Amino acid sequence: MPSVLVLNGPNLNLLGTRKPEIYGSTTLADVERLCRDTAEQLGLELEFRQSNHEGQLIDWIQQEGPRVRAGESIGAVFNAGAYTHTSVALHDAIESVELPVIELHISNVHRRESFRHHSYISPVATGIIVGLGVAGYGLAIRALHERASAAKG
């Protein structure tokens, strides 16, 4: 059974308590349950991970690229948090392994501070979901699944 990787970057472990007026009261554990339910409905295994460390995220991305090429994975949903706006290294990792990535933002970053308007991830992302809250995770998993199914013919 193919899998999908859901990666969460810095501070997402604080979902539900950090700025609930922006990110809501849903916790990361709640997001994981939503993702597991969506993956199960689609016949996918789920790898769900969070790290506050850029290098750890890069390692996981580099491991996932070969899994996609081997047909073991359909790609990754990636909420890079603040690294979205700062990390050339994450951009390079995604590009280097040709990982299909749906970039995800819980809030509408374009309605927030101007430094959040630029993404280093977007140029190498397969697609982007912005501002739909945590529901975006399920939509992103479905989008990767549809993309993988279409590629199979």
* Whole-number Å distance between alpha carbons of 72 and 74: 7
- Is 85 one of the annotated binding-site residues? yes
Helices within the chain (DSSP H only) = 20-23, 28-41, 54-69, 88-97, 135-152
Residue 10 contacts by C-beta under 8 Å, 6 or more apart in sequence? 51, 52, 53, 81, 82, 83
- Is 111 one of the annotated binding-site residues? no
Compute the residue count for the chain: 153
- Is 107 one of the annotated binding-site residues? yes
* Whole-number Å distance between alpha carbons of 136 and 106: 7
- Is 52 one of the annotated binding-site residues? no
SS3 call for 127: strand
Catalytic residues: 23, 105
Residues at the binding site for substrate are 79, 85, 92, 106-107, 116
